[in-house]
């Protein structure tokens, strides 16, 4: 009986230690959302691969009203992440030395979420991965697909 009590206390202690170490890791995550497709995670600049979102100063037109679609894309990402930990799978670096990655919250791809929300585009120049998600948003006129807009790559080229 005494041995079982000792084992129980040891098991509870180990589980408690693991729990508190995990909680500390989650709380210690430093995250800053820069724009719709770029975050700073624990001091590392991460650019989401395979998608492109409107620039922060970029606008869209719906019913003759100008909307800050770049700011909206960023806010959608902020809202989706909330207080949840972000996990990223690195796919290399770009010419600006940013980490290229697909990032997830609760095992859901943030890139897929943004594209299906209509505030990110499949960046076909670099990936074909999110085309189906883009078609979904386009067909259902979700997000920017319900507005007049300029693709982010064209907007940057014209500035």
Would you list the domain boundaries of the chain?
A: 30-158
Lowest mean pLDDT among 6-15, 22-31, 103-112: 6-15
The answer on pLDDT for 159 being more than 60 is yes
Tokens of 79: 């809202």
Q: What is the mean pLDDT of the chain?
A: 88
Interval 36-70: pLDDT, tens: 999 999 999 999 999 999 999 999 999 999 999 99
| CATH architecture designation of domain 30-158 | Beta Barrel (2.40)
Per-residue pLDDT at 79: 98
31-35 and 99-105 strand pairing = unpaired
Interval 113-140: pLDDT, tens: 999 999 999 999 999 999 999 999 999 9
Q: Is 145 exposed, middle or buried (0-12, 13-18, 19+ CB in 10 A)?
A: middle
The answer on pLDDT for 15 being more than 60 is no
Closest by CA to 36, choosing from 67, 76, 84, is: 76
CA distance 119 to 64: 19
């Amino acid at each position: 009986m005494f041995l079982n009590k000792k084992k129980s206390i040891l098991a509870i202690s180990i589980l408690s230690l693991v729990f508190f170490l995990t909680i500390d890791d989650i709380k210690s995550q430093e995250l800053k959302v820069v724009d719709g497709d770029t975050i700073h995670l624990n001091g590392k600049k991460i650019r989401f691969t395979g998608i492109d979102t409107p620039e922060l100063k970029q606008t869209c037109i719906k019913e003759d009203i100008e909307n800050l679609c770049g700011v909206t894309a960023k806010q959608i990402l902020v809202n989706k992440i909330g207080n949840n930990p972000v996990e990223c799978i690195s796919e290399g670096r770009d010419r600006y030395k940013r980490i290229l990655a697909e990032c997830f919250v609760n095992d859901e791809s943030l890139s897929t979420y943004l594209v299906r929300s209509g505030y990110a585009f499949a960046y076909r120049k670099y990936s074909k991965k999110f085309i189906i998600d883009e078609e979904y948003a386009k067909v259902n006129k979700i997000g920017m697909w319900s507005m007049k807009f300029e693709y982010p790559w064209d907007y940057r080229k014209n500035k």
